[in-house]
Amino acid sequence: MKINLTAKAPKTINQKFSFYTEELWKKDKKNYGNNIDSLFSGKKNETFISVENDSINFLIGLGEKPENFELQSVASKFSYDFRKKIQSENTEINAENFDAAQILELVKGLFLGTYEYPFKEEHPFFMKGFNLVLNKVSEKELKEIELKTSAICKGQFACMEWLNKPQNYKRVPQISEFLKEISKKHQFRLTVFDRKKCEELGLGAFLAVNQGSSQEAAFTILEYHSGVKNAKTVGLVGKCVLFDTGGISIKPSDNLHYMKSDMGGATAVIGTLIAAAEMKLPVNITAILPITDNAVSNNAYIPSDVITAYNGKTIEILNTDAEGRMTLADGLSYLAKNYRTDALIDLATLTGSSVRMFGYTCGAYFSNNNDLKKSLEISGDKTNQRLWNLPLWEVWKDDFKSDVADFKNISSKPFGDCIVAGKFLEQFIEDHPNWAHLDIAGVAFGNVQYMKEKGATGYGVQLLINFLENFQ
């Protein structure tokens, strides 16, 4: 993906993107025609095209007092909505009143708005002749904007692309081949355990989900090493259920096709790894993706089974549709037992309970560390990939105690499942003192500008990248 930015204005500029807050517009409107007040006021997502001779000026409204993430959102919508009207020419961003950080968000938004599924570099921004002129930034700032924009786009587009793929286009061999490719490109250390190896290691909770599948298990470990001396290490575990039928506890048929989205935690992790490597972030990442589907077959695990997880804990199965916490349990305990990490974070499209609580506004999260809570919330607020903290009180543990095993995989009570799931996962972190669980079921896949129905939002990539940039 080539992003053409320059700080040196060419002789001819035939196109401008002029971003205005309502306040800035009041000061600058005198430079335009007398009758423009009835056509443009700077309101959020308002757009007016001014044509003079051979020059086109897109006036784009940002609203009253936009946050930085709103700049990105407006620019993205404009880029997508006007993709057939934007010309592949030298284009100046008229952003005199914005600082470098704000211009970064505008540029990121413009290029993120080029995404359609399947992604192809067919937007005018990728055509020969297009150059984006940022004449108010230094060369150093320009290079940083270019690097971060390219990295975020590559990471987020990979995240969205794999989440949007139909089930038959993202079976274990296909995603495994992709992970091999990015590992080679970015020099990730790649380790994959097949079913036989998982059996030898005792990854019983993961294998229970996989045993009903016709596809090979792929318990996958990716390691990004920054090369920076004494760099901190963050452990990431992403739920990677390629398609979730619910297993024997089969889901209703309505909207079942959306269950291709049940790998949203994994795609966020994949996108983060790509972006971090592109940006050469001075932090190490160890990521685990327990890759499988949750299928219905004569070999599938069934309610009443008792499963032994990697850490030796036994789990009574009450519902095979609570498969995500099974795969994550082994992913978390394997990572905690075999790798030293300064923080441990798992992400998963885990429960309908979180969706019923927060809708599509934010993810639910749980943590045993107040500093980690604060850092994740700050990153969520900065990127608009927001999180809301829920408790891990010990009383919730009583809800999944079993008569025949250490734990049940769900509570029998009809409420609080996202909290129960978080408390359940806590039993598999091996007393890690700096852990967080992110339930992103409502925000990873939803209403998007590029699809009539639901699609991947890219949630998690910018959140984690901002977190990693500030992790100390």
Which residues have a catalytic role annotated?
251, 325
Q: CB under 8 Å to 440, separation ≥6 — which residues?
A: 264, 265, 268, 347, 348, 349, 350, 354, 363, 459, 460
CA nearest neighbour of 204 among 290, 303, 296: 290
Helix axes 370-383 and 461-469, enclosed angle (nearest 10): 120
State the greatest distance between any 2 C-alpha atoms of the chain, in Å, as a whole number: 80
Q: Which two tokens stand for residue 394?
A: 């010990």
* Contact between residue 253 and residue 363 where contact means Cβ atoms under 8 Å apart: no
Residues with Cβ within 8 Å of residue 33, at least 6 apart in sequence: none
Q: What residues are paired with 363 via a beta bridge?
A: 387
Rg of the chain's alpha carbons, rounded to an integer? 24
- Sign (positive or negative) of CA dihedral 275, 228, 266, 69: negative
Q: In which element (H, E) is residue 265 found?
A: helix 264-279
What is the rounded CA–CA span in Å between residue 179 and residue 185? 10
| Cα 405 to Cα 289: distance, rounded to the nearest angstrom | 26
